[in-house]
Each structure stands twice: as C-alpha cells, then as structure tokens.
C-alpha cells in the first residue's frame, strides 16, 4: 500500500490555486470548488457556519490560480531551485 502524500504548505497553496482555477474555468461556484478541494460534507459545514474562512480561502485560491495561469508561473520558475541536467 502506498503512503499518503504529505504536502508542504506552499505546495498545497499552489495545488489548491490550480484546482480553483480549473473549477472557475468550468463555471463552478466557490462552494463547489470547496467541495472539490475539501469534500462535500466539509464544504457544506463551512458554508452553513458563521465563519467566512473557507469562502475567503477559496476566493484567494481562485485569484491566485488566475494569476498563475496568466503569467505568475514564471515567477515560480525563476524562484525554483536549479535541477541538475544529465550529461
């Protein structure tokens, strides 16, 4: 059995941003996006409660995804560590 993937905080932010972008491009709502990222039950609970934290997180993820797809990915490429090339 394969071990579950452990995401770093930065990788999780990028993953969620790209998922949120895809959901946005498909016409899904922020609530639907939260269901894709966190599961329907957790998203429904968050949307029914008084907190706006998940709603705000999904909005930020969508906006970050739009930025990344537009041209923000270039900044990631510049910042990423150099990968040695095989000779």
The structural domains of the chain, with segments of one domain joined by +, span 18-74
pLDDT above 70 for 42? yes
Q: Which pLDDT does position 27 carry in this prediction? A: 98
Q: Which pLDDT does position 2 carry in this prediction? A: 83
Q: Which pLDDT does position 65 carry in this prediction? A: 93
Q: Which pLDDT does position 28 carry in this prediction? A: 98
Listed as own residue / partner, the contacts of 51-59 with beta carbons closer than 8 Å and 24 or more positions apart are: 55/30, 55/31, 57/16, 58/20, 58/30, 58/31, 58/33, 58/34, 59/30
**Of 6 and 80, which is predicted with more confidence?**
6
Q: Give the mean model confidence (pLDDT) for residues 33-39.
A: 97
* pTM attached to this predicted model: 0.79
């Amino acid at each position: 059995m394969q071990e579950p993937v452990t995401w770093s905080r930065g990788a999780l932010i990028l993953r969620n941003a790209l998922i949120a972008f895809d959901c946005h491009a498909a016409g899904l709502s922020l609530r639907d996006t939260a269901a894709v990222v966190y599961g329907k039950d957790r998203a429904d609970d968050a949307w029914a409660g008084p907190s706006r934290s998940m709603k705000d997180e999904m909005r930020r993820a969508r906006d970050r995804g739009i930025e990344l797809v537009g041209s923000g990915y270039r900044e990631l490429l510049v910042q990423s560590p150099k990968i040695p090339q095989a000779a």
